[in-house]
Amino acid sequence: MSKQPVNRQWLLARRPEGAVKPCDFRYREGAIPTPSEGDVLLRTLYFGYDASQRIWLTEDGGYMPPIRIGEPMRAMGIGQVVESHDPAYAAGDLVEGFMSWQDYAIVRSDGPMPLRLLPKADYPLSWNLGVFGVGGLTAYFGVTDGLKVKPGDTVVVSAATGATGSLAGGIAKALGAKKVIGIAGGPEKCRWIVEKAGYDAAIDYQNENLDARLAELCPEGVDAYFDNVGGDMLDTLLLRMAPRGRVLICGAMSSGYTDVKLKGPSNYMRICTHMLTMQGILLFFYRDQLAEGAQQLGRWVAQGKLHVEENLFEGFEKAPELLPTMFSGKKPGKLLLKVADPT
């Protein structure tokens, strides 16, 4: 395997204030790192975009250590092993996991999530970052284990065109939900939700009254709500939950994940008076079940029950400019950047 002479990198130049901007990163051509005991040296092929990248950019970092100034930006990615000092991986293997915006990255399997070895498959390699990656698996464990969706349930999903939300509806339908409703902004996205992503109905929160539409579509209340948005939307939904309803806290897109202190859900006492359950989802806690989840997702895709949508760009130079679009009306589906082909 021939190494490129340079290692292109996008480093964090400064901690973003408010919305993340391309100029928060700076380009550098560095040396290809030398792996030590236990390290795996990868050539990166694809980067996925996730809203949680904005959280990693805060001082706090959220559930991960924060990215430091001067470090390459962290991202989920697909890579190919160049040199391995970990017996679990061999040169040439294709893997998915935590990487960073550079051509060559060193990864260790003792991190929060080990690198996942990718099987030879007849679907596009990039699907391992989407339907079989963080988005798909979060939707899978969120709907099955978190929300425990069962036949007959009425299910609502916010940010329903996102990498996770676009799959959560189909998963709920596959489990027998009676009615699955997606929330998104604008008529075009709402049409996509119903025509492509398999939702029974859509609510355009920008142009419709969310509460009135929920009352109309869910006269007996919402059994399960997959929340990617938080804020006022979560508060509105809390008042529309059926007794013993379940709420999954998956994200808070309404906050933009900036450093701004979040507004808590003021209607949270509905948890008490309607005996609701509000639960979180973080894939780290499912690390031993990921392969099983991906297999089930694969069966549903093969059966035509899940619609896979990619929003694929190409070229290492585009890495920073795509990140802000996560928070400002990107197209439906998984946002991805291809930077190289496997050998």
Binds its own copies by CB under 8 A, chosen from 117, 194, 201, 271: 271
The only residue of 35, 48, 136, 265 in contact with its own copies, by rule CB under 8 A: 265
Q: Smallest gap, in angstroms, from Cβ of residue 231 to its own copies?
A: 10
Q: Does residue 224 interact with its own copies by CB under 8 A?
A: no
Minimum Å distance from CB 275 to its own copies?
4
- Using CA atoms, how far residue 18 sits from 13, 26, 233, 260, in Å, is 15, 18, 21, 8
Cα–Cα distance, 165 to 330 (Å, whole number): 14
> Would you count residue 229 as binding its own copies (CB under 8 A)?
no
**What beta strand segments (E) does 25-150 contain?**
25-30, 39-48, 74-84, 94-100, 104-108, 116-117
Task: Considering the complex, state which of residue 279 and residue 311 has its C-beta at the smaller distance from its own copies.
Answer: 279
Our CB check for its own copies shows the closer of 42 and 253 to be 253
Is position 249 an interface residue for its own copies (rule: CB under 8 A)? yes
CB of 271 to its own copies, least distance (A): 4
- Residue 244 Cβ, how far from its own copies at the closest point, in Å? 7
Q: Using CA of residue 142, residue 281, residue 230, residue 52, what is the dihedral sign?
A: negative
Which of residues 95, 214, 281, 290 is near its own copies by CB under 8 A? 281
Judged by CB under 8 A, does residue 243 bind its own copies? yes
* Span interacting with its own copies, options 92-100, 249-257, 303-311, 318-326, rule CB under 8 A: 249-257
27 forms beta bridges with 10
> Rule CB under 8 A: is residue 215 a binding residue for its own copies?
no
Q: How far is the CB of 277 from its own copies (least distance, A)?
A: 5
Q: Distance between CA 278 and CA 234 in Å, rounded?
A: 11
Q: How many residues bind its own copies (CB under 8 A)?
A: 33
Residue of 88, 91, 275, 291 interacting with its own copies (CB under 8 A)? 275
CA angle 194, 197, 203 (to 5 degrees): 40
Q: Which is nearer to its own copies, 77 or 230 (CB)?
A: 230
Regarding 165 and contact with its own copies (CB under 8 A), the answer is no
The kind and range of the H/E element at 133 are none
| Total residue length of the chain | 343
CA distance 160 to 151: 20
102 vs 138 by CB, closer to its own copies? 138
Site string for its own copies, 58-97 (x = CB under 8 A): ----xx----------------------------------
Tell me how far, at minimum, the Cβ of 165 lies from its own copies, in Å.
Answer: 15
Measured distance CA(56)–CA(50) in Å, rounded = 10
Sign of CA dihedral 323, 294, 148, 62: negative
Identify which of 288, 237, 298 has the alpha carbon closest to the alpha carbon of residue 266: 237
Strand pairing class (241-249; 222-227): parallel
Q: Which residues contact 176 (CB under 8 A, 6 or more apart)?
A: 149, 150, 151, 152, 153
Would you tell me which residues interact with its own copies (CB under 8 A)?
Answer: 62-63, 230, 235, 243-244, 249-252, 261-282, 285
